[in-house]
Amino acid sequence: MKVCGVELKGNEAIICILSLADGLFEIANCRVSRLAIRDSEDSEQLKKFQFDFAKLMDDYQVGAVVIRQRPMKGKFAGGAVGFKLEAAIQLIDPLKVEIMPTNEIRETVKRSPLAIDFKATGLKQFQEPAFTTAFAYLSR
């Protein structure tokens, strides 16, 4: 099963597509590492973001999308644009979308640690939270 881990940060969705088959993890060589929106007030751009995300998931035959949960209030609260992007992703039909709490991600990675160092994956450093989210989802 292919899973897309997503971290929403500011006006962009940082992604990592990961699959698990026969006990082996495989990182998809995805054509993009993030999708962004310039103007969150423009509904056309939001629709384009949603279309582009859905097309990407379809092209890579992703079975589930896992979004890293962000706090709604407090010092590290997610911004309004991030929640718009989250809603746009959640409303893509027939995509299965799940929000995964950060404490569950940490606990899962603690129980099933990565066999290799993140730097050896070939992903960009900013993709680490998205990768960890997808890894935790597949490891639980």
Q: What is the pLDDT of residues 54-104, one digit of tens each?
A: 999 999 999 999 999 998 888 878 889 999 999 999 999 999 999 999 999
> CATH number of the domain at 2-139, out of 3.40.1350.10, 3.40.50.10860, 3.40.50.150, 3.30.420.10?
3.30.420.10
Mean pLDDT of the chain: 95
What local confidence, expressed as pLDDT, does residue 40 receive?
92
pTM for the model stands at 0.95
What local confidence, expressed as pLDDT, does residue 77 receive?
81
Helices (H), 41-127: 43-59, 80-90, 102-111
Dist CA 34 CA 80 (whole Å): 18
Packing angle of the helix pair 80-90, 43-59 (nearest 10 deg): 50
The residue-averaged pLDDT of 100-113 equals 96
Long-range contacts of range 42-51, CB-CB < 8 Å, 24 or more positions apart?
A: 46/84, 46/88, 49/13, 49/85, 49/88, 50/88, 50/89, 50/91, 50/92
What local confidence, expressed as pLDDT, does residue 34 receive?
97
Confidence of residue 115 (pLDDT cuts 50, 70, 90): confident
Q: Give domain limits for the chain.
A: 2-139
- Point out which residues pair with 91 in neighbouring strands: none
What local confidence, expressed as pLDDT, does residue 45 receive?
97
Q: What is the pLDDT of residues 13-67, one digit of tens each?
A: 999 999 999 989 999 999 999 999 999 999 999 999 999 999 999 999 999 999 9
What local confidence, expressed as pLDDT, does residue 72 receive?
85
What local confidence, expressed as pLDDT, does residue 116 receive?
87
